[in-house]
Amino acid sequence: MDNLEDLKILAEQWFHQGVEFFQQIPPTQLYAAIGVLLLTTILLVSIRLFRRTKSNTVLLSGLSGSGKTVLFYQLRDGSTHQGAVTSMEPNEGTFVLHTENIKKGKTKPVHLVDVPGHSRLRSKLEEYLPRAAAIVFVVDALEFLPNCRAASEYLYDILTNTSVVKNKIPVLLCCNKTDKVTAHTKEFIRKQMEKEIEKLRVSRSAVSSADIANDFTLGIEGELFSFLHCYNKVTVAEASGLTGDTDQVQEFIREYVKP
Amino acid sequence: MLEQLLIFTRGGLILWTCKEIGNALKGSPIDTLIRSCLLEERSGDVSFNYDAHGAAYTLKWTFHNDLGLVFVAVYQRILHLLYVDDLLSLVKQSFAEIYDPKRMAYDDFDETFRQLRKEAESRAEELRKTKQVGKPLGNVKKQGQVSKSGLEGGNKRISESGGSKKDDGDGNKAKVGNLTNGHSNGNHQMEDDSQTSDLANGKENTTDNVALDLSKLQKLRSKGVRGRGGIRKADSIGNKGSKVTAAEPAKKATKKNRVWDDAAPKQEKLDFTDSVDENGNNDHVDIVAADQGESMMDKEEVFSSDSESEDDDEPGSDEKPEAKKKGWFSSVFQSITGKANLERTDLEPALKALKERLMTKNVAEEIAGKLCESVEASLEGKKLASFTRISSTVQGAMEDALVRILTPRRSIDILRDVHAAKEQRRPYVVVFVGVNGVGKSTNLAKVAYWLLQHNVSVMMAACDTFRSGAVEQLRTHARRLQIPIFEKGYEKDPAVVAKEAIQEATRNGSDVVLVDTAGRMQDNEPLMRALSKLINLNNPDLVLFVGEALVGNDAVDQLSKFNQKLSDLSPTGNRSLIDGILLTKFDTIDDKVGAALSMVYISGAPVMFVGCGQSYTDLKKLNVKSIVKTLLK
Ligand SMILES: Nc1nc2c(ncn2[C@@H]2O[C@H](COP(=O)(O)OP(=O)(O)OP(=O)(O)O)[C@@H](O)[C@H]2O)c(=O)[nH]1
Ligand SMILES: [Mg+2]
């Protein structure tokens, strides 16, 4: 008890001293000090925000076999080397896109991550999503129909992921393998996937899943689903990782990772 | 002849292939290997068989874990190439020297490879000659090892794998050069083909042939459960199956009579087996279907992370054995510098402790062993990161592996499937199968309840026409839930009852038909045949295996036999196996959650529901994260 009393007295004394000290300082100086303090905090906060928005991480995701790894090396080296097999681990790299290399401009490198599509490795994606600036969702336009449902489910999980919704991470629906004539068009693929997601929306909203953390529902109640209804921007593009026809993908990347 | 040899990164980029060999591979054996073997935690296996597109390849592989490289050799199975293991490790050795992560083309490796191949081939040839002369095996092997020891540099995998060479029952002559050694069975496999069958692991193949055969099962799975199936050579399944069945009758006969008696239904709240009298008008059963609250399937599970605190002190305990051996200082020093590459001997104590821990959690021994082998294969040769201990590295790798296994390979969104079936104007059919007394009917009712809550109209089909009281039991559930039930009494062929039930459901517009079947022991041939008939006749959308969470080693036997029998007895040979698992009595097992892992590993099917109590609402989804945590606790 005594101790407490002592402390109280001590604190009171300090307080008084502090007040006296402030009263001694001329007001202009005081204002200046406060001003400086405010400015630095604003600066610090803005730097943090700045950094956050300026993430340069772009994710390549999509089902296994959609051509992510080929696309990754095409963007990095401008070559597919000797081809690819199913990935067991992500491919990651920070580089200036291959085509930009030639121009010798001062460009900001992109941190590109190719996340394996095998469903057993899905959990890897969640590790990368929080720091992603943009996502390229690669779809196999050749073998599209048999994979439509699985691809839509994967995309649905991405579009309802907390980080994606909160940070409004833009998604590019990249229809790959368009070098072949039998490839489906991007419009067809977009429509089919919208239809499929519409169905998922119905069944998933019924299950508030305990395990799959879909925290958000997609689209607008009572309307057929369209990618336009997403919280984030979803665009569609065509590409071919094999032949190196990746202009639209590069454009997309550069839109969100400014050179 | 070697068909192909590939070197690729774990990221999936091919670095080098043998252009000299040239002929393109049929199908995509490499992708299949990765997807259904390496990513299924079976990389501890010795080889992988690929049958599709008219090809019958055997694949062997080795990892360079530190550099993140994978080496795969593909050859025709009928050629028992003896030098493959040897060649792979030679290639690994030489390639590691020239590998540079920035370099993508290794054309200069062609020449090196040619030499290595010659070397390996001639050595194998020598080995065969000396063996034909009749020298004892052991000597020959040692000789071989001495001659290559210069190059080998501490790689123990060759000698290990040589012993457990796997034969696939094709022709029993050409096994001359079976490099046998170590713990493998020294018996000559030439005479007796039925003994060799194809156990994945040489360690255990002397004793019980009946025991499951992982590699075979896995092959069955890899043939593509739906859609892709059918290309596979059905005859190979056929004759393997007959081999297995031939060895079985002895075991089967003992357990034939009224097995359900020893698994007598305990008066559970939901079990009406006895509460209903035969006269049928069981008015005393209150029709309460109404609402018993939300099924736990739909509840967000809050996982208490109380295990966190235990995590910290527990690695210390399983590090004791190695700490003792190496001395305190050196182990601390090593953990700080983190330089040394992990070797088998370093990993062994930690893995052994981990295996034991898994087994105390009721994981089947065989599976715990396989998992540890796989983790070992993925860590051997890797550099230990700074400030980490071996035990925690091993634990981390195991955790990743467990998450991978338990993560479903395909979507388990049943409601979505139901809607899809509805669009095609047909009912979605679920067949519940399992051994006796595991709670099939009870959990069928729980699933029905859950479906009802999602505005899906459900019909039950009482196809357990074998056990008396089964139909009444189901009828009681149906009454309480106020859903229609299709029954034809006893003495009827269950396959036909199911068919009629589905027709009826199509007529009255039910969305889902839940088919109850008689419990049967996995060894009961006639009953398994009946089940196979039911499944083949009705082609259900989902075959749900109902299993008790209490089972330990038996889980493996049950599931593998169910899978095996269903596929063997199927006339077309391409009928899917078990699609999903329903684990019952999950509330009674405390932290012994191993059955979930065993069942998923062995069948490749996901756990779709978990039954955890006595009321209709006690049906949950499996929480992968919490299971993994519990397993490693
Ligand atoms: N025709 C054509 N084939 C392509 C194209 N891109 C990729 N492929 C082929 O598709 C297959 C799979 O490509 P990967 O890049 O390995 O696929 P992935 O998306 O990385 O698959 P995972 O690593 O399993 O997730 C390879 O055989 C490629 O040759 C393309 O643009 N056109
Ligand atoms: Mg890949």
Q: Is A73 on the interface with B (CB under 8 A)?
A: yes
| Least confident range of A176-180, A216-220, B296-300 | B296-300
- Output DSSP code: residue B162: H
Q: Which residue has the tokens 């199911």?
A: B498
Atom of ligand 1 nearest to the CA of A80: 29
pLDDT band at A191 (very low <50, low <70, confident <90, very high): very high
Of all protein residues, whose CA lies closest to atom 8 belonging to ligand 1? A67
Residue of B nearest to A152 (CA): B411
Render B369-422 in DSSP notation, one character per residue: HHHHHHHHHHHTTPBPPTT--HHHHHHHHHHHHHHHHHS-SS---HHHHHHHHH
Give the number of beta-carbon pairs within 8 Å between A and B.
119
Q: Which two tokens stand for residue B500?
A: 């009629």
* Bridge partners, residue B243, by sequence: none
Model confidence pLDDT, tens digit, residues A39-52: 888 887 776 665 55
What is the pLDDT at residue A102?
Answer: 62
Helices A144-159, A186-206: inter-axial angle, 10-degree rounding:
60
Backbone φ and ψ of B76, nearest 5°: -65, 135
Dihedrals phi, psi of B416, to nearest 5 degrees: -65, -40
**Is ipTM over 0.90?**
no
pLDDT at B520: 86
Residue with CA at minimum distance from ligand 1 atom 28: A67
pLDDT band at A1 (very low <50, low <70, confident <90, very high): low
Chain B positions in Cβ-Cβ contact with residue A118 (cut-off 8 Å): 35, 39
Residue B63 near residue B57, CB atoms below 8 Å: no
As a whole number of angstroms, the distance between CA A72 and CA A115 comes to: 10
Round to the nearest angstrom and report the end-to-end CA distance of chain B.
Answer: 48
Are A88 and B12 within 8 A, CB to CB? yes
Q: How far is the CA of B181 from the centre of ligand 1 (A)?
A: 42
Nearest alpha-carbon partner for B347 in B630, B65, B153: B65
CA B311 to chain A, closest CA, distance in angstroms equals 22
The domains found in chain B, sorted by start residue, are 1-107 (3.30.450.60), 135-336 (no CATH), 338-406 (no CATH), 414-631 (3.40.50.300)
Q: Write the residue with the smallest CA distance to atom 7 of ligand 1.
A: A67
Helices (H), B570-615: 594-603
**Closest ligand 1 atom, residue A115 Cα:** 25
Place of tokens 């008696």: B261
DSSP secondary structure letters along B446-504 = HHHHHHHHTT--EEEEEE--SSTTHHHHHHHHHHHHT--EE---SSS-HHHHHHHHHHH
> What region, left, alpha or beta, does residue B611 occupy, with left being phi > 0 and alpha being psi -120 to 50 degrees?
beta
**pLDDT, chain A, mean:** 84
- Pairing between strand A171-176 and A234-238? parallel
Contact B413 A211 (CB under 8 A): no
In this structure, what DSSP letter does residue B226 have?
S
**Which ligand has the shortest distance to the CA of A81?**
1
Report the separation in Å between the CA atom of A69 and the middle of ligand 2, taken as the mean of its atom positions: 4
Given pLDDT bands bounded at 50, 70 and 90, which one contains residue A212?
very low
Please provide the size of chain B in residues.
Answer: 633
| Domain regions of chain A by residue span | 2-51, 55-256
User: Which CATH fold would you assign to the domain A55-256?
Assistant: Rossmann fold (3.40.50)
In whole angstroms, what separates CA B70 from the centre of its chain? 22
Residue B73's DSSP bridge partners are: B5, B60
Of all residues in chain B, the one with the smallest CA distance to A157 is B411
The residue to mutate among A64, A69, A70, having the most atoms of ligand 1 within 8 angstroms of its beta carbon, is A70
C-alpha radius of gyration, chain B, whole number: 27
DSSP state, residue A240: B
CA B27 to chain centre: 23
The pLDDT, as a whole number, for residue B209 is: 39
Percent of chain A scoring above 70 in pLDDT: 87
Closest chain B residue by Cα to residue A82: B14
Contact B620 A153 (CB under 8 A): no
pLDDT at A23: 73
Residue in chain B lying closest to A91 (CA): B11
The span from the CA of B621 to the CA of B602, in Å, is: 20
Q: Amino acid letter at B20?
A: E
What is d(CA B547, CA A192) in angstroms, rounded to the nearest whole number? 38
Higher pLDDT, B20 or A201: A201
How far apart CA B547 and CA B578 sit, in angstroms, is 12
Residues A119-132, mean pLDDT to the nearest whole number? 88
Asked if A67 and A176 count as a contact pair (C-beta separation under 8 A), the reply is yes
Chain B residues in contact with A206 by the CB 8 A cut-off are 415, 454-455
For the record, the structure tokens of B375 come out as 């983790």
Mean pLDDT (whole number) for A62-83: 92
Q: Is A203 part of the contact surface with chain B (CB cutoff 8 Å)? A: yes
The reported pLDDT for the residue numbered B329 is 56
For residue B512, what pLDDT is reported? 93
Mean pLDDT in residue range A191-198: 91
Find, among B505, B515, B495, B486, the residue nearest to B425 by Cα.
B505
pLDDT at residue B339, rounded to an integer: 52
- Does B409 sit within 8 Å of A119, measured CB to CB? yes
Ligand 1 pocket, Cβ-based, cut-off 6 angstroms: A 62, 64-70, 83-84, 86-87, 116-118, 176-177, 179-180, 240-242; B 12
Interchain proximity A81–B300, CB inside 8 Å: no
What pLDDT, on the 0 to 100 scale, is given for residue B132? Answer: 64
Average pLDDT over every residue of A76-93: 91
Alpha helices in B4-81 (DSSP H): 29-36
Closest CA to A122 of B184, B278, B39, B396: B39
Is the dihedral angle over the CA atoms A31, A35, A36, A41 positive or is it negative? Answer: positive
| Residue segments in chain B with a per-residue pLDDT below the cut of 50 | 135-268, 273-289, 302-326
Tens digits of residue pLDDT in B233-244: 444 444 444 444
Give dist(CA B584, CA B581) in Å, integer: 10
SS3 at position A101: helix
Judge contact between B446 and B269, C-beta under 8 A: no
Q: Distance, in angstroms, between B413 CA and closest chain A CA?
A: 8
State the closest ligand 1 atom to the C-alpha of A241, by its place in the atom list counted from 1. Answer: 31
Handedness of CA B589, B594, B597, B598 (dihedral sign): negative
Q: For residues B8 and B281, give the distance between their C-alpha atoms in angstroms, rounded to a whole number.
A: 69
